[in-house]
Chain A
Amino acid sequence: MGNSSSMLTQYDIEEVQEYCQNLFSQQEIVSLYQRFCQLDRNAKGFISADEFLSVPEFAMNPLSQRLLKMVDGLNFKDFVAFLSAFSAKASVQQKVKLIFKVYDSDGNGKVSFNDMLEVLRDLSGSFISDVQREQVLTQLLKEAGYSKDSYLTLDDFNKDYIALTPVANTCLFGHGYEGVILQIYGKAYKKLFIPVSNNLDSG
């Protein structure tokens, strides 16, 4: 694919597009490539963990270590494939699959109680105690029909999330020369998981 060159040919773009199931337009792929080259300082063909962490916004994110494991050392094609779950055109299943992968850090296809607890710890940190966290999680698992020892699979994740109709196209892309501003569907994405009682407010 010519990882060391700084120019993408039309063939390359089409290959990448196919690889990510046409979730990005060609212009988006070009912009992503510019960003990839910007992050990959020594033109090695992949971005190292250190280079990801040099983006302070990313380093400060509570989930950065988990994402780093998924994203470290990817070449450009896999980088685009990873980001494709955030595209406007990605389906709910793809987004849920990504969330599942973040939880399932050992990759065995099952999310255990401990996995969920760890992610919650990353997110809420010192704001609530470990005991409280466990209590809440156990309680909610019970309410949803699981027990503390059950393992959730991808199917469970899929069926437990109420799929609301995603909000219409909110992706902003490419301010031309300024670089990529891929507006990830924060709002739409979140709406997929809003509990029934609250959806009147954010509708």
Chain B
Amino acid sequence: MSSGKGGELIPSSSELDLDRPNIEDYLPSGSSIHEPLGKLRLCDLLDISPTLTEAAGAIVDDSFTRCFKSNPPEPWNWNVYLFPLWCCGVVIRYLILFPVRVIVLTVGWIIFLSCFIPVHLLLKGHDKLQKNMERALVELICSFFVASWTGVINYHGPRPSMRPKQVFVANHTSMIDFIILEQMSSFAVIMQKHPGWVGLLQSTILESVGCIWFNRTEAKDRETVTKKLREHSQGVDNNPLLIFPEGTCVNNQYSVMFKKGAFELGCTICPIAIKYNKIFVDAFWNSRKQSFTMHLLQLMTSWAVVCDVWYLEPQNLRPDETPIEFAERVRDIISVRAGLKKVPWDGYLKYSRPSPKHRER
């Protein structure tokens, strides 16, 4: 909050400033103790107004909650001409597009399963051939998924190549991020284990592309996962690893802090930026509000899923950088490309409270 000449706040920077909590304001007002006591008066010592102001500001609006808010598009069907048009749209979407899409998806699944199951069972001995076929099949089913939402995806940049010691990172908006990326080239992703039919898919089909599972709630899981990540990235024949360092789904307008795990593996990091076009559908999966099934149904009853995927220049850890700085640098690159605002919060604060040691700082 900088003030201009006449003492008024400059409006344009205010929103950005609110996204970035001013950590200096959390420093104690008692730091003025270092001045000679002559200048300090009782009222200065007792003046808690800046801190109170920050607290009230956080109550009224805070940058962390905004990262996870689904922003519905402005209603446009409110007048007498547009409303019937909108109704037609609803009819077309639900009664024409939706059944067609369901059929497409069912056909896709039938083809996939009828090829995958034999390949999986019969080609047990021929590892390389089996792997290649399974990869191709997973790419196929992902293409079917994308077609079932009428996905219009623009890929920019060179296609990822299969080299060892390469890790891909991307910003995370929904689980469909993985499907969109998998359609183009095969990745091994690291994902949270989900319950239900998604979990079933995870343990059977995605296992074949070499995915790694973790459980957010288990603290000890982290070490085993880090080990698995390292092993995977060193292997020559494995699919390149895809990691979402935010750790949670964010609403495609902001980016939360990246976890440094991916950046400590000693591999080249290839950033990928994904940006969805809101006009057609809001692809943010608000896992607090809807289950994945509902989310997919919502996508299938919208007009289209339009997004841009940028494959950005690979980055390496610079000699004078710590992994955290490296993570921030990559986050910067991705946020600039995808037009996201950066927020200095850890995504896992969605599930837990800040610990007291953060408060001390």
5 pairs of A and B residues whose beta carbons are closest in the complex: A124-B30, A124-B28, A57-B58, A58-B58, A144-B42
Assembled-state Cα–Cα distance A95/B52 (Å): 10
Determine whether A71 belongs to the interface, using a CB cutoff of 8 Å to chain B. Answer: yes
Q: Do residues B6 and A190 form an inter-chain contact, with CB atoms below 8 A?
A: no
Determine whether B69 belongs to the interface, using a CB cutoff of 8 Å to chain A. Answer: yes
Determine whether B57 belongs to the interface, using a CB cutoff of 8 Å to chain A. Answer: yes
What's the nearest-Cβ distance from chain A to residue B216, in Å? 17
What's the nearest-Cβ distance from chain B to residue A115, in Å? 10
Determine whether B314 belongs to the interface, using a CB cutoff of 8 Å to chain A. Answer: no
Determine the residue in chain A with the shortest Cβ distance to B3: A187
For chain A residues 65-80, which have a beta carbon within 8 Å of chain B? 67, 71
Q: Do residues B30 and A127 form an inter-chain contact, with CB atoms below 8 A?
A: yes
Assembled-state Cα–Cα distance A67/B53 (Å): 11
Count chain A residues whose beta carbon lies closer than 8 angstroms to a beta carbon of B: 72
Assembled-state Cα–Cα distance A182/B57 (Å): 7
> Most chain-B CB neighbours within 10 Å: which of A32, A60, A160?
A60
Determine whether A151 belongs to the interface, using a CB cutoff of 8 Å to chain B. Answer: no
Q: Taking A60-B26, A140-B45 as contacts, is the C-beta distance between A183 and B359 under 8 angstroms?
A: no
On chain A, the residues within 8 Å of B115 by CB distance are none
What sequence of 0s and 1s flags, for each residue 227-262 of chain B, a beta carbon within 8 Å of any chain A beta carbon? 000000000000000000000000000000000000
Q: Do residues B8 and A57 form an inter-chain contact, with CB atoms below 8 A?
A: no
Question: Chain A residues in contact with chain B, CB under 8 A?
Answer: 32, 35, 38-39, 52-64, 67, 71, 83, 86, 95, 98-99, 102-103, 116, 119-120, 123-128, 132-133, 136-137, 139-141, 143-144, 146, 160-162, 167-170, 172, 175, 177-187, 189-190, 192-193, 195, 197-198
What's the nearest-Cβ distance from chain A to residue B147, in Å? 32
Q: Do residues B42 and A102 form an inter-chain contact, with CB atoms below 8 A?
A: no
Q: Do residues B7 and A170 form an inter-chain contact, with CB atoms below 8 A?
A: yes
Determine the residue in chain A with the shortest Cβ distance to B59: A58
Count chain B residues whose beta carbon lies closer than 8 angstroms to a beta carbon of A: 56
Q: Tell me which of A32, A57, A63, A140 contacts B48 (CB under 8 A).
A: A63
For chain B residues 2-53, which have a beta carbon within 8 Å of chain A? 3, 6-9, 11, 14-15, 18, 21, 26, 28-31, 33, 37, 39-53
What's the nearest-Cβ distance from chain B to residue A120, in Å? 6
Q: Tell me which of A35, A178, A192 contacts B49 (CB under 8 A).
A: A192
Number of A-B residue pairs, CB cutoff 8 Å, is: 188
Determine whether B217 belongs to the interface, using a CB cutoff of 8 Å to chain A. Answer: no
What's the nearest-Cβ distance from chain A to residue B53, in Å? 4
Q: Do residues B39 and A195 form an inter-chain contact, with CB atoms below 8 A?
A: yes
Q: Do residues B61 and A195 form an inter-chain contact, with CB atoms below 8 A?
A: no
On chain A, the residues within 8 Å of B43 by CB distance are 160-162, 193, 195
Q: Do residues B49 and A189 form an inter-chain contact, with CB atoms below 8 A?
A: yes
Assembled-state Cα–Cα distance A184/B60 (Å): 9
Determine whether B213 belongs to the interface, using a CB cutoff of 8 Å to chain A. Answer: no
Q: Do residues B44 and A193 form an inter-chain contact, with CB atoms below 8 A?
A: yes
Assembled-state Cα–Cα distance A42/B65 (Å): 16
Assembled-state Cα–Cα distance A143/B43 (Å): 11
Q: Tell me which of B46, B48, B51, B61 contacts A182 (CB under 8 A).
A: B61
Assembled-state Cα–Cα distance A86/B61 (Å): 14
Assembled-state Cα–Cα distance A71/B52 (Å): 13
Q: Tell me which of A56, A103, A120, A193 contacts B349 (CB under 8 A).
A: A56
What's the nearest-Cβ distance from chain A to residue B15, in Å? 7
Q: Other CB < 8 Å A-B pairs besides A179-B66, A181-B15, A195-B44, 5 of them?
A: A120-B30, A123-B29, A136-B30, A181-B14, A193-B44
Q: Tell me which of A55, A59, A120, A186 contacts B359 (CB under 8 A).
A: A59
On chain B, the residues within 8 Å of A63 by CB distance are 48, 51-52, 55
Q: Tell me which of A57, A64, A128 contacts B30 (CB under 8 A).
A: A128
> Most chain-A CB neighbours within 10 Å: which of B11, B61, B345, B360?
B61
What sequence of 0s and 1s flags, for each residue 173-185 of chain B, a beta carbon within 8 Å of any chain A beta carbon? 0000000000000
Q: Taking A63-B48, A172-B11 as contacts, is the C-beta distance between A179 and B28 under 8 angstroms?
A: no
> Most chain-B CB neighbours within 10 Å: which of A53, A54, A182?
A54
Q: Tell me which of B48, B62, B64 contacts A119 (CB under 8 A).
A: B48
Q: Taking A62-B359, A189-B49 as contacts, is the C-beta distance between A71 and B59 under 8 angstroms?
A: yes
Determine whether B56 belongs to the interface, using a CB cutoff of 8 Å to chain A. Answer: yes
Determine whether B63 belongs to the interface, using a CB cutoff of 8 Å to chain A. Answer: yes
Assembled-state Cα–Cα distance A116/B31 (Å): 16
Q: Do residues A67 and B345 form an inter-chain contact, with CB atoms below 8 A?
A: no
Q: Do residues B41 and A195 form an inter-chain contact, with CB atoms below 8 A?
A: yes
Assembled-state Cα–Cα distance A61/B62 (Å): 13
Determine whether B1 belongs to the interface, using a CB cutoff of 8 Å to chain A. Answer: yes
On chain A, the residues within 8 Å of B40 by CB distance are 136, 140, 195
Q: Tell me which of B31, B41, B47, B358 contacts A143 (CB under 8 A).
A: B41
What sequence of 0s and 1s flags, for each residue 284-319 of chain B, a beta carbon within 8 Å of any chain A beta carbon? 000000000000000000000000000000000000
On chain B, the residues within 8 Å of A64 by CB distance are 55
